[in-house]
A = this chain, B = another copy of it.
């Protein structure tokens, strides 16, 4: 076969998939503290109009703008779908394990997929500056790059503990031209309040979100806010992963009805949704019996231990309230290495799917997750990001059920990023010093 392009642009989808109209029950709307529904006019204070339209859209497919498609190609999409034959062999499993590898994207994770889309729509509406928060820095670096591509200034509030522990991620954002402040910072009223309580406050994602939103609300309309997970439009953009995976599996003769398991880790839910949502209609319509596994850390058990209720997205209560599985917006997660999973809630759409039994949540502790990460690195070569290693752990557990069997189930998972900037955690694990939270 001769390929018709240097890159397989034919694998790139032209549409994102919006799961909202296909959910088993209607998605509860965001609410104001008064109990009123937070309509588009509220969301438009911090987001551009087009993203608000996507946030509340009931269209099943939303066209990916050509310019965004071009940037997907420039960044190396489609990402490879790799059959993990080395891992299968090492586990002696009869299952076939496939993974989408999002770590090939420039900043090393899937976050670019929505960053570039968000920056594009903000650019179209003349936004000059975007504010955001970041934990470990995967999201912040993706948005910094996207801002550089569209000439938008990026200001990142980075959880102080990570700012100090992960200087390379901060440098990466600065290399793309972004401004990075450790949060809590003295830039905002919220930040100053926390700093007064404790000048060395380690910060949290919830606090950093509050700072970014306060910054936007006091910018006289010059700045907008950008979020890396949880919201409908963010998850929507990530479905490029699953849409590609459907086509790639089809190209080797595997239809969605043959996929037995789809697995991803969950912080806010975007990488899990990105891979799994395009497969879910086949389950809901009875065409497939796929088991969807959402993996979270035992230290931040929002799906397995949290309540399903309305809660704020940030610590200071500046966002509308979302109905979701939550540990409470004032929950400060322990300092696990998977910084991207240290969030008190999960996406409302994912919460509905969990509540209805379509998606099954599981939780693992830190040490078993790193053990799985090392096993994967030594067999498949890629050192998974600590976040993605949660998915790897679940996949290994599933694959072990098929040792010495003849059932060649397909297990598909999202390797949402590599861990080359998270090697300190691996070092702690190898030296026996890793806390097993």
A residues bordering B, Cβ < 8 Å? Answer: 1-8, 10-11, 70-71, 73-76, 80-86, 98, 101, 104-108, 112, 145, 148-149, 167-168, 171-172, 174-177, 247-252, 374, 377-383, 418, 420-421, 423-424, 426-427, 430
Contacts and interface: CB of A to CB of B under 8 A. Distances in A.
Nearest to A86: B74
Which of A2, A249, A381 counts the most chain B CB atoms within 10 A? Answer: A381
A148 to B, nearest CB: 4
A177 B376 CA distance: 12
Contacts of A426: 171, 175
Contacts of A383: 106, 172, 175
Contacts of A7: 80-82
Contacts of A81: 6-7
Contact of A420 (B71, B74, B168): B168
15 contacts: A1-B10, A3-B11, A3-B247, A3-B251, A6-B80, A6-B98, A6-B251, A8-B8, A74-B84, A74-B85, A168-B420, A174-B430, A175-B430, A177-B378, A421-B421
Given A176-B378, A421-B420, A6 B430 contact: no
Nearest to A429: B175
A416 to B, nearest CB: 15
B378 A423 contact: no
A177 to B, nearest CB: 6
A1 B4 contact: yes
Nearest to A247: B3
Contacts of A175: 374, 377-378, 383, 423, 426, 430
A381 B86 CA distance: 31
Contacts of A249: 6
A172 B374 CA distance: 10
The 7 tightest CB contacts between A and B, nearest first, are A106-B381, A3-B251, A6-B81, A104-B104, A171-B423, A148-B378, A6-B248
Contacts of A421: 168, 420-421
Given A74-B85, A175-B430, 15 more contacts: A1-B4, A2-B10, A5-B252, A6-B83, A7-B81, A86-B149, A106-B377, A106-B382, A106-B418, A107-B381, A145-B377, A148-B378, A148-B379, A168-B420, A171-B424
Contact of A75 (B10, B172, B381): B381
Nearest to A174: B430
A359 to B, nearest CB: 24
A149 B381 contact: yes
A82 B86 contact: no
Nearest to A419: B175
A112 B380 CA distance: 13
Contact of A2 (B107, B251, B418): B251
Contacts of A176: 377-378
A99 B114 CA distance: 25
A149 B382 CA distance: 12
A104 B9 CA distance: 18
Contacts of A98: 6
A380 to B, nearest CB: 7
A176 B382 CA distance: 10
A175 B376 CA distance: 10
A71 B381 CA distance: 10
B70 A74 contact: no
Q: Which among A75, A80, A98 has the greatest number of chain B C-beta atoms within 10 A?
A: A80
A85 B67 CA distance: 12
Nearest to A1: B10
A159 to B, nearest CB: 19
A252 B172 contact: no
A302 to B, nearest CB: 29
